Amino acid sequence: MNPAKQQILEAAARLFEKQGYHATGLNEIIRESGAPKGSLYYYFPDGKEQIGAETALWSAGEMAGRIRQGLSQAEHPAEAVRLLALGIADAVEASGFAAGGPLMMLAAESVTRSERVNAACREAYRQMQAAFAETFSGNDDLAGFVLSTLEGAILLSRVQHSGEPLRSAAQHLYSYLKAR
């Protein structure tokens, strides 16, 4: 991928995660990315909606890679998920509760306002769920349960300004997966 396009996607992802899609303007994305203004219009001729959709898919690739990496850290899937959730809790706290769910804000805001962005978010979550399913022998339902539990715990951690919801989810997922 071209470095300027990469910079734009990374900046958009950080801004959408921190403040949401609608609160983020194109000029802010340009400023945050450090990319030339012309690059934004060259790589994203359809504007902000295209940036939102491509950011969702780019974020999915990044997150799926992190999920696979995190799940490879332990032999048993239960322990791997527990460690992943605890790592997310630490990251959410370290960000001052501004980060942790790169798709969360974008997905929530696009539900009724942009089919293009929402479709990209659905695909992004599908990719992340697939990364979990690889660890669970292709069990897509179990992967969806783990993903939705973690996403909900991330949201609660951000809202409550506490990593405790993620730490609690880590323990409950561990117990559930260990018993399977």
**For residues 168 and 156, what is the distance between their CA atoms, to the nearest angstrom?**
11
For 95-145, the pLDDT digits (tens) are 999 988 879 989 999 888 899 999 999 999 999 999 999 999 999 999 999
pLDDT value for 146: 98
Cβ proximity of 107 and 22 under 8 Å: no
CATH number of the CATH domain containing 94: 1.10.357.10
**For residues 13 and 29, what is the distance between their CA atoms, to the nearest angstrom?**
9
Half-sphere exposure of 113 (CA within 13 A, CB side): 12
- Kind plus residue range of the DSSP H or E element containing 85: helix 77-94
Q: What percent of the chain has a predicted confidence (pLDDT) above 90?
A: 86
Cβ proximity of 64 and 84 under 8 Å: no
Supply the range of the domain harboring residue 129. 3-179
**For residues 173 and 154, what is the distance between their CA atoms, to the nearest angstrom?**
14
For 159-168, the pLDDT digits (tens) are 999 999 999 9
Total domains, the chain: 1
Cα 18–chain centre separation: 12
pTM for the whole structure: 0.92
Assign 180 a pLDDT band (cuts: 50, 70, 90): confident
